[in-house]
Amino acid sequence: MVNLTDAEDVNPKGLSVSAENDADITVEQNTDTPVDEFPAEDLVFDASDLSVYYGDFRAVRDVNMLIKRKEITALIGPSGCGKSTVLRSFNRMNDLIPTARVEGTLLYRGVDLYDERVDPVEVRRRIGMVFQKPNPFPKSIYDNVAYGPRVAGRKKGLDDVVEHSLKKAALWDEVKDRLQESAIGMSGGQQQRLSIARAIASDPEVLLMDEPCSALDPIATARIEELMAELKDEYTILIVTHNMQQAARVSDRTAFFSVEVDETSDRRTGLLVEYTNTEKLFSNPDDERTENYITGRFG
């Protein structure tokens, strides 16, 4: 439960939701930061004062974000600002690093993702992930897509799932005749769409994409961006990108992260500077650091 008693402050979460009672929900208009209105039921993630540590080292601090359903939210910022780290904390991929830990709260549809009862495996089945470098398994195309459902124990109807997922990922027409061939021989763009199909096959609600186009050529990138626009109808998408134009093109909302360097230890800690709708962030940012970054004066 987060209470903002003084609405005159810049709302750190970029948008706000208010509830007078359970049934009747309206969205407050913040005077300083224009925010969209949306019903509370569309709230997917709610991060409050989220910090991620690696051992004693704080990689990112004080992230406050509300993320809306069936939108594309972009995370941008200079390298080392912790945007990927934040993304990975959304489906607990950071758990794989033994020293990583999270402070603050991160609610997914109202449930604390870091509650000790929560199984990260279950989280990742609902919140899928696409990685920076295409990472097809050294198996057939079919087995790649069917991987998620299979580990979830599904044995029947895999053919339909594979076809459906590949169609969703705009890959079906290219590969339908060679489903049993190895995925390793595909082009980079195809491999990345396969990764998306693989993520979709687990029937997630959210897709996290960690710089999905950074290893691709411009044509393949354009196809992925097109695909994201289509997928938005069904999935909530968070994308980390180093490419500001990409964020401007595809996202509804953008979070700008910056990095502060501790002079004495030379350690870099990332922080969320500004989070608002994409159009505003790129045309009329509130924060000077954001402006410097998007106009190319920094980073």
47: helix, strand or coil? strand
Work out how close the CB of 298 gets to another protein at its nearest, in angstroms, rounded to a whole number. Answer: 31
Q: Which of 79, 89, 101, 111 binds another protein (CB under 8 A)?
A: 111
Angle of CA points 47, 48, 54, to nearest 5°: 80
First to last CA, the chain: 35
Residue 45 to residue 32: CA distance in whole angstroms = 23
Work out how close the CB of 87 gets to another protein at its nearest, in angstroms, rounded to a whole number. Answer: 11
Q: Which of 72, 76, 106, 113 binds another protein (CB under 8 A)?
A: 113
Angle between the N-to-C axes of helices 141-151 and 188-201, in degrees from 0 to 180, rounded to the nearest 10:
30
Work out how close the CB of 93 gets to another protein at its nearest, in angstroms, rounded to a whole number. Answer: 7
Site stretch for another protein (CB under 8 A), options 15-23, 213-221, 235-243, 268-276? 15-23
Site stretch for another protein (CB under 8 A), options 143-151, 169-177, 224-232, 243-251? 143-151
Site stretch for another protein (CB under 8 A), options 145-153, 223-231, 274-282, 284-292? 145-153
* Residue indicated by tokens 């595809």: 250
Provide the phi-psi class of 40: left if phi over 0, else alpha when psi is between -120 and 50, else beta: alpha
Footprint of another protein on 192-221 (CB under 8 A): 195, 198-199, 201-202
- Which residues contact residue 273 at a Cβ distance below 8 angstroms, ignoring those fewer than 6 apart? 77, 256, 257, 258, 287, 289, 290
Determine contact, residues 202/194, Cβ cutoff 8 Å: no
**x-marked contacts with another protein along 279-298 as a string, rule CB under 8 A:** --------------------
Nearer to another protein, 3 or 245 (CB): 3
**What phi and psi, each to the nearest 5 degrees, are found at residue 103?**
-120, 160
Q: How many residues does the chain have?
A: 299
Site stretch for another protein (CB under 8 A), options 131-139, 171-179, 250-258, 273-281? 131-139
Q: What is the CA radius of gyration of the chain?
A: 20
The yes or no reply on residue 138 touching another protein (CB under 8 A) is yes
Q: Which of 38, 49, 80, 118 binds another protein (CB under 8 A)?
A: 118
Site stretch for another protein (CB under 8 A), options 88-96, 237-245, 251-259, 269-277? 88-96
Footprint of another protein on 25-44 (CB under 8 A): 25, 28, 39-41, 43
- Which residues contact residue 15 at a Cβ distance below 8 angstroms, ignoring those fewer than 6 apart? 27, 35, 36, 38, 66, 68, 253, 276
- Chain residues binding another protein by CB under 8 A are 1-8, 16-20, 22-23, 25, 28, 39-41, 43, 46, 66, 91, 93, 96, 98, 107-113, 115, 117-119, 121-126, 128-131, 133, 135-138, 147-148, 151-152, 195, 198-199, 201-202
